[in-house]
Amino acid sequence: MSTFSLPGARLATYFSDEHGHPVVQLHGLTSSRERDRLLDLDLGRGLSGTRLLRYDARGHGQSTGGMDPEDYTWPQLATDLLALLDAFFPGEQVHGVGPSMGCATLLHAAVRDPGRFSGLTLMLPPTAWETRTAQAADYEARARFIEEQGMERFLQADAMAAPPPATVGRPATVPDISAELLVPAYRGAARSNLPTREDLTTLTMPVTILCWTDDPGHPVSTAVDLATIFPMARLYIATAPQEVARWPEVLAEDVVRDTNMVAPPHL
């Protein structure tokens, strides 16, 4: 592990150099590289022959962060991502993969700098556009609950939610972020939304979308909407754990596809 300094944060980074196509892997809100591995969301574990960058987003895992909710909005996290790519893969096109908050971060970064990405594997797209209002209110309510009742009570209440069918059998985990930083992280997420549909239609890189059923925070409707926006996208909807277990193979296929494509140099 090494660290990468940004305004207001030091990001914990993990780089595996096998001299191949560059890949960057992100994680979701409250998670981290290590927690995603426990949750079987570490799709990069099946990759070989790539230069793979994993990192903990600001405030998460072993990364540091501040108390300003704006630091945790998706556009700011996209700024963090692009700074990392400039440092690790200067001038190169990179394949991006990540769930939820990581998916949103990738989309904001791609809209801002589309030439940076050779392809995207978007996991568990979060609520967006019309469905975001209710989720934003839920995140704000979670932040207030932690402030008023504490982290232990919050974890007890959160554990009562039914898991999506595709995650049955996974070990119980807790957020890999401190209670102090989880409050602004939730509020940053509450202030965020995906780029507009119009902005997303400008993206032309290959896209694969991975989602599962019965998860209100990551509804199939967002995945289907994105698949409509990206008409050449591949869409996989999992209903059972064995379908999610194939997702690392899907990422590997995406990276091989990108490697075989002749892309113009990134300027």
Q: Give the angle subtended at the CA of 199 by the CAs of 197 and 203, to the nearest 5°.
A: 105
User: Tokens 């032309």, residue?
Assistant: 204
Round to whole Å and give the CA distance between 223 and 210. 8
| Mean confidence (pLDDT) of the chain | 95
At 106 the three-state DSSP class reads helix
Round to whole Å and give the CA distance between 202 and 197. 9
pLDDT, tens digit (0-9, with 9 covering 90-100), for 86-101: 999 999 999 999 999 9
Cα dihedral 220, 72, 129, 124, rounded to 10, equals -10
- What pLDDT score does 262 carry? 43
Say yes or no to pLDDT of 263 above 80: no
Domains of the chain: 8-260 (3.40.50.1820)
**H or E segment and range at residue 83:** helix 74-88
pLDDT, tens digit (0-9, with 9 covering 90-100), for 132-171: 999 999 999 999 999 999 999 999 998 888 899 999 998 8
pLDDT, tens digit (0-9, with 9 covering 90-100), for 35-88: 999 999 999 987 999 999 999 999 999 999 999 999 999 999 999 999 999 999
Of 42-51, 120-129, 202-211, the range with the lowest mean pLDDT is 42-51
Say yes or no to pLDDT of 264 above 80: no
Q: Is the pTM of this model over 0.85?
A: yes
